[in-house]
A and B are shown apart, each in its own frame.
Chain A
Amino acid sequence: MPTDIGSILIQLFSGLSRAMMLFLVSSGLSLIFGVMNILNFAHATLWLLGGYLTYTLFQLFSNTFGDHALLIVPAIVIVTGIMFVLGWVLERVLIRRMYAREVPEQLLLTFALILIFGDLIKLIWGVQNRRIFLPIEPIAVFDSYVNPYFFVIIAAGFGVAGGLWWFLHRTRYGKIVRAAVYSRDMVSALGIRIPTIYAGVFALGIAIAAFSAGVFLPIMPIGLGLDMDLIIQCFAVVVIGGFGSILGTFVASIIVGIVYAFSIFIWPGGALAIIFLILVAVLIWRPWGLFGTEMRY
């Protein structure tokens, strides 16, 4: 293992940016589970769909307005909006029918969504990987070169984490979401329209995931199958951090992201195994996760 500061920093940056993606996808997963008790197995597939849509929109913009790196910004914003609407519709039409059902039935429905959206992606975009090339010059850090786009990703991750914290702690809607994590019945008995809260939380989770897919396109090619790798790691993140805890999801994402980046460096074949060893350790030592609460109403 190279031990110079430059290589270590590169692993650190790549680990941190990976952590940000894990956080952006897992935070929605965790929020949806915390509020509605729904394990959305299709979360990463919707993330993938968001990525493909951003890719297509970016190509469309580039063909219309000429090549410009910043065109990725409107593409990401518009796709985030589209996926928010899609999330809302999915919740209203399908997911809300699952609240009273058992977890295996929920998994059946969300697994069906994986297959449906997976095939839809195959039909529209084919099976080859897609990515966006942005003309970005690497910058020198000590003796190595770092893609400065890593900093954009890390900033976006911290930005969304901060925004989510602000939303959950400073807005009335966010406080209602936190209250609903404890008791949906009580929130409903206070006259709050629970169906709107549910649709909003689901749509928000999907929108954040789609946003992260767009932000990652310039450094990571997307393709079918990536959603399955991602969802499994996101489940690990959410379990390590504690379901329903945004802070826990954030910390667990950073742990998993950085451990993964350095493990790949040292023992490429065992990177996932190490993450699952951490998961097992957490399950033995604190089954409710690092920041989860032991008791729920």
Chain B
Amino acid sequence: MDELVVDNIHTFYGTSHILFGISLKVNRGECVCLLGRNGVGKTTTLKTIMGLAHAGQGAITYNEKNLIGLPPYEIARMGIGYVPDERLIFPDLTVRENLEIGEKAPLTRDVAPWTVDRVYQLFPSLKPLDGRPGGYLSGGEQQMLTCGRTLMGNPSLLLLDEPVEGLAPVVVQEVTQQIRHLKKMGLTILFAEQNIKFATEISDRAYVIEGGRVRYEGTMEALEQQSEIKEKYLMI
């Protein structure tokens, strides 16, 4: 069943037109990737879904409910979690306080809610940093904290914006494992990525984006065969 449906959205920042009719679907339990180089509209797509950028045209529905025009906090309360690429850790709050800010009751009672301890189980390297201000973490630690903070809100759909950007290869492997784990727990994931290698490791399907338009959509196996698409639109 389609969980998230984005239909022909056009998004503007002021007078500059960023998205030219992006359409995509994410099914429940799927891990879908938005692939493309820097500045092609991946972040704007995620921000538009989250209500942080405004679509001038088009429709977005989540579980058949309209998202267009809703403020971000209403969208978050419908079960969508957003992990921004700028991370936006609250620097003078401790790691634990950052996580506690994200706390929000789950929408259904049949799932165990996330707790600070469960986040520490998923990201063991955060545990010893419990009392440290968020501003004093390394890039990888900040990425895990951003992700943990969003999980504390018990989302059922996770929007991840370039989760491994700028991280050391060892940390990338760790984060890959953790995202796989989240997927196994039943979370639906839509994430933006530049690197096809990392995307292939975790996603089921991909949308290749360039110039604010979807240029290709298909499964990761099918995309693997499309050497022309890969060369034209992706970093290899």
Q: Are B149 and A190 in contact (CB under 8 A)?
A: yes
Interface residues of B in 32-91 (CB under 8 A from A): 50, 52, 71-73, 75-77, 82, 84, 86, 88, 90-91
Q: Which of B12-20, B98-106, B182-190 contacts A (4 or more CB under 8 A)?
A: B98-106
Question: Binary interface profile of A, 205-221, with partner B (CB < 8 Å = 1, else 0)?
Answer: 00000000000000000
Interface residues of B in 142-161 (CB under 8 A from A): 149-150, 153
Contacts of B174 in A (CB 8 A): none
Q: Are B93 and A297 in contact (CB under 8 A)?
A: no
Contacts of A182 in B (CB 8 A): 88, 90-92
Q: Are B92 and A190 in contact (CB under 8 A)?
A: no
Contacts of B77 in A (CB 8 A): 191
Q: Is residue A141 contacting chain B, with contact meaning CB distance below 8 A? A: no
Q: How far is the CA of A175 from the CA of B134 in the complex (A)?
A: 13
Q: Which of A186, A190, A191, A297 has the most CB of B within 10 A?
A: A191
Count of chain A to chain B residue pairs whose CB atoms are closer than 8 Å in the complex = 60
Q: Are B73 and A193 in contact (CB under 8 A)?
A: yes
How distant is B100 from chain A, measured CB to nearest CB, in Å? 7
Residue of A with least CB distance to B77? A191
Known: A182-B90, A194-B71, A297-B88. A189 touches B101 (CB 8 A): no
How distant is A34 from chain B, measured CB to nearest CB, in Å? 12
How distant is A247 from chain B, measured CB to nearest CB, in Å? 11
Q: Is residue A62 contacting chain B, with contact meaning CB distance below 8 A? A: no
Q: Is residue A187 contacting chain B, with contact meaning CB distance below 8 A? A: yes
Residue of A with least CB distance to B150? A190
Q: Are A191 and B100 in contact (CB under 8 A)?
A: no
Contacts of A194 in B (CB 8 A): 71, 73
Q: Is residue A185 contacting chain B, with contact meaning CB distance below 8 A? A: yes
Known: A185-B52, A194-B71. A175 touches B76 (CB 8 A): no
Q: Is residue B97 contacting chain A, with contact meaning CB distance below 8 A? A: yes
Q: How far is the CA of A188 from the CA of B97 in the complex (A)?
A: 16
Contacts of A190 in B (CB 8 A): 73, 76, 101-102, 104, 149-150, 153
Cross-chain contact of B88 among A183, A192, A193 (Cβ < 8 A)? A183
Q: How far is the CA of A63 from the CA of B52 in the complex (A)?
A: 56
Known: A178-B93, A179-B101. A186 touches B71 (CB 8 A): no
Q: How far is the CA of A190 from the CA of B90 in the complex (A)?
A: 12
Q: Is residue A97 contacting chain B, with contact meaning CB distance below 8 A? A: no
Cross-chain contact of B52 among A172, A178, A189, A191 (Cβ < 8 A)? A189
Chain A interface secondary structure, helix, strand, loop or mixed?
helix
Q: How far is the CA of A193 from the CA of B72 in the complex (A)?
A: 9
Cross-chain contact of A175 among B73, B101, B153 (Cβ < 8 A)? B101
Interface size on B, as a range, is 20 to 34
Residue of B with least CB distance to A175? B97
Q: Are A186 and B88 in contact (CB under 8 A)?
A: yes
Q: Are B101 and A185 in contact (CB under 8 A)?
A: no
Contacts of B76 in A (CB 8 A): 188-191
Q: Are B82 and A189 in contact (CB under 8 A)?
A: yes
Residue of A with least CB distance to B79? A191
Contacts of B86 in A (CB 8 A): 297
Q: How far is the CA of A189 from the CA of B76 in the complex (A)?
A: 6
Cross-chain contact of B73 among A178, A179, A183, A191 (Cβ < 8 A)? A191
Q: Are A191 and B104 in contact (CB under 8 A)?
A: yes
Q: Is residue A176 contacting chain B, with contact meaning CB distance below 8 A? A: yes
Known: A190-B104, A190-B149, A190-B150. A175 touches B93 (CB 8 A): yes
Contacts of B92 in A (CB 8 A): 178, 182
Contacts of B102 in A (CB 8 A): 190
Q: How far is the CA of A183 from the CA of B50 in the complex (A)?
A: 15
28 interchain pairs, CB-CB under 8 A = A172-B101, A175-B93, A175-B97, A175-B101, A178-B92, A179-B90, A179-B98, A179-B101, A182-B90, A183-B90, A186-B84, A186-B90, A188-B52, A188-B71, A188-B76, A189-B50, A189-B72, A190-B73, A190-B76, A190-B101, A190-B104, A190-B149, A190-B150, A190-B153, A191-B76, A191-B153, A193-B73, A297-B86
17 more CB-based (< 8 A) A-B contacts, given A178-B90, A179-B90, A188-B76: A172-B100, A175-B100, A175-B101, A176-B101, A179-B101, A182-B91, A185-B52, A187-B101, A188-B71, A189-B52, A189-B72, A189-B75, A189-B76, A190-B76, A190-B153, A191-B104, A193-B73
- Which residues of B are at the interface with A, using a C-beta cutoff of 8 A? 50, 52, 71-73, 75-77, 82, 84, 86, 88, 90-93, 97-98, 100-102, 104, 149-150, 153
- Which residues of A are at the interface with B, using a C-beta cutoff of 8 A? 172, 175-176, 178-179, 182-183, 185-194, 297
